[in-house]
Amino acid sequence: MHMNRRRLLTSALAISASLSPLAALAADTFAESPWRKISDADWKKRLPAQAYGVLRREDTERPGSSPLLNEHRKGTFVCLGCDLPLFRSDAKYDSGTGWPSFFIAIKGGLATKTDFAIGLPRTEYHCARCLGHHGHLFDDGPRPTGLRYCSNGAALKFIPA
Residue 82 makes CB contacts below 8 A (sequence gap 6+) with 35, 127, 129, 130, 132
CA dihedral of residues 68, 41, 110, 116 (deg, nearest 10): -90
127 binds Zn ion (CB under 5 A): yes
CA distance readout (Å), 7 to 19, 62, 109: 19, 50, 31
135 binds Zn ion (CB under 5 A): no
85 vs 98, beta carbon nearer Zn ion: 85
Among 79, 110, 154, 156, binds Zn ion (CB under 5 A): 79
Asked whether 33 and 111 are in contact (CB, 8 A), the reply is no
Specify whether 150 is catalytic: yes
24 vs 98, beta carbon nearer Zn ion: 24
Q: Which stretch binds Zn ion (CB under 5 A): 38-46, 131-139, 141-149, 153-161?
A: 131-139
SS3 state of residue 78: strand
Name the minimum Å distance from CB 103 to Zn ion.
21
Among 109, 132, 135, 153, binds Zn ion (CB under 5 A): 132
Asked whether 21 and 147 are in contact (CB, 8 A), the reply is yes
Binding to Zn ion by CB under 5 A, coded x per residue (else -) over 80-119, reads -xx-x-----------------------------------
Examine residue 67 and say whether the peptide bond preceding it is cis (omega within 30 degrees of 0): no
127 vs 156, beta carbon nearer Zn ion: 127
Give the interface with Zn ion as residue ranges (CB under 5 A).
79, 81-82, 84, 127, 129-130, 132
**Among all residues, which ones are annotated catalytic?**
150
